[in-house]
Amino acid sequence: MAANFFYGTNVIAVKQIAPHHIQALGISFSRIFFTAILLTMMPFFNGKKERIEKKDYLLLMVAGLLGVTLNQTFSIMGIASTNPIHSSLLIMSTPIIVTVLAAIFLKESFGGNKIIGLLLGLTGAFILVKSRATSGEVHPPTMLGDGLILAGSVCYSTYLILIRKVSKKYSPITILRFVFLFGALFSLPFSLKSFMIADWAAFSGWDWFSILYIVVLGTLAANLLMNWGVQQWGPSKTGTFVYFQPVFGTLGAVLLMGEQFSVVKAIAGLLIVSGVWITSMKFKKENPA
């Protein structure tokens, strides 16, 4: 639950500082680079070190590019340029995308429930992206921003499919450490400049709290807690808590940022969440935790 709270409210922290104090690419670099440093330091404190087989480095590099560099960049840029409620709801499309990719690349079955879930999720996402009633909105939604959120979800979903091949060979912390290290390297050429030119002097106390929240809680703690949950309860039970992400994100946007939660957004969100629920229910029957 805590991991999904951090994931969901991370959207609010990003909107607090981007793009007026720091560009989206600068936030993305901060998130990736400092999380990589923290993950690299962890073995020195817990004394646990694992060696990676040479044949797995290429997979981890690709996973770092897709799951960290491109996912974080697209997601942060999308959040910075669209409505925070849109962001929270569209990010929920990830489980549905994972199901489709698993059927294509892992040859997992794609039954009637998954087809219905996919159609519901696509319908909800289409309604949300096409809705442009921006009167009174603090942060109006944009087609580009919504599209970037979905692109980030596709990259992250592909990363989840790739990482399954090594998830049983190495600990979650080891995998995260190498994925973020490679992700940080790939991010350097196009995001370091945005980080360096950020208006750090203009940051208020709340702004500094926001960026710390993004790095420490919204990225590092959320990933570690999610992995811990999978180890303790299995992926199926842990996955059921994903439905709280848009709830936390939407409540935060309404209560802290003055956003409006319209009927259209409610209908679109209900369709997306219903699609994810139907899809996951079928998945749990086929692959019990």
Contact (CB, 8 A) for 108 and 160: no
What per-residue confidence (pLDDT) applies to 61? 96
pLDDT at position 29, please? 93
Q: Is the pLDDT of residue 121 over 90?
A: no
Lowest-confidence region among 53-67, 139-153, 154-168, 228-242 = 228-242
Mean pLDDT of the chain: 81
C-alpha distances out from residue 88 to 10, 96, 118, 222, 254, Å: 9, 15, 18, 15, 12
CB 28 within 8 A of CB 89: no
**Tokens coding 219:** 């990225």
In this prediction, residues 146-160 reach a mean pLDDT of 88
Q: Is the pLDDT of residue 69 over 80?
A: yes
Domain housing 76: 2-286
Its pTM surpasses 0.85: no
Number of domains in the chain: 1
Q: Side chain identity at 171, as an amino acid letter?
A: S
Q: Give the CA distances from residue 75 to residues 81, 100, 171, 248, in Å, rounded to whole numbers and listed in that order.
A: 10, 20, 26, 17
Confidence at residue 50, expressed as pLDDT on a 0 to 100 scale: 84
Distance CA 217, CA 265 (A): 27
CA dist 210 → 7, 133, 180, 281 (Å) = 13, 28, 21, 35
3-class SS string, 164-226: CCCCCCCCHHHHHHHHHHHHHHHHHHHHHHHHHCCCHHHCCHHHHHHHHHHHHHHHHHHHHHH
Task: Specify the pLDDT at position 47.
Answer: 61
